[in-house]
């Protein structure tokens, strides 16, 4: 059974349908997000040449369970993994498998946990082995684009700016 959000901490909804959260809500969001980020920190040394993405996923599942949290992805529409791991040309939501990582592979690992009804969803990019210059440049450009996007986000700012 999936956890449900505590009804007393749901914020209010504006006439435009935008949910405005209260201070107590942010504490729950922070706890869930912090766990997801900690899992990504902890998995980093295991991203190595010769490692399989299914082995990384098993480690992530163990970390989620040991933290007393729930994986939001396991069981979602039949999905069986605690993470999505995309390698190289797979843009997002890659499915962990037995294929072994090679030198220079770029991975994106996406982890979503549920803590006390709040979802923490985050991802991070990793490189297995030595980073080729072309891959390094790709990582730099995409990181810069992300930062510019984050700079543009403000409350009540319309999308499509």
What torsion do the CA atoms of 46, 97, 138, 32 make, to the nearest 10 degrees? -60
Look at residue 81 in the predicted model and tell me its pLDDT. Answer: 98
Give pLDDT, residue 18: 86
> What is the per-residue pLDDT for 28?
86
**Amino acid 16: pLDDT:** 86
How is residue 36 written in tokens?
């997801």
Radius of gyration of the chain (CA): 18
- Check residue 22 and give its pLDDT: 81
pTM for the whole thing?
Answer: 0.82
What pLDDT is stored for residue 24 in this prediction?
79
Q: What ranges in 6-96 are assigned the alpha helix state H?
A: 23-43, 53-66
Instruction: Name residues of the chain where pLDDT drops below 50.
Output: 1-7
Domains along the sequence of the chain with CATH = 12-152 (3.90.230.10)
What's the pLDDT score for residue 61? 98
Structure letter (DSSP) for residue 5: -
């Amino acid at each position: 059974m999936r956890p449900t959000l505590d009804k007393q901490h749901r914020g209010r909804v504006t006439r435009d349908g935008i949910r405005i959260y209260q201070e107590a809500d942010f504490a729950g969001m922070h706890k869930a997000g912090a766990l997801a980020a900690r899992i990504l920190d902890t998995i980093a040394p295991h991203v190595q040449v010769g490692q399989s993405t299914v082995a990384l996923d098993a480690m992530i599942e163990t970390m989620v369970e040991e933290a007393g949290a729930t994986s939001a992805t396991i069981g979602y529409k039949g999905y069986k993994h605690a993470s999505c791991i995309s390698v190289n040309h797979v843009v997002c939501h890659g499915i962990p498998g037995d294929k072994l990582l090679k030198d220079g592979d770029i991975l994106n690992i996406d982890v979503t946990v549920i803590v006390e009804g709040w979802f923490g969803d985050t991802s991070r990019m990793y490189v297995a082995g030595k980073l080729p210059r072309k891959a390094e440049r790709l990582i730099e450009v995409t990181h810069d684009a992300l930062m510019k996007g984050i700079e543009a986000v403000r409350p009540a700012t319309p999308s499509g700016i």
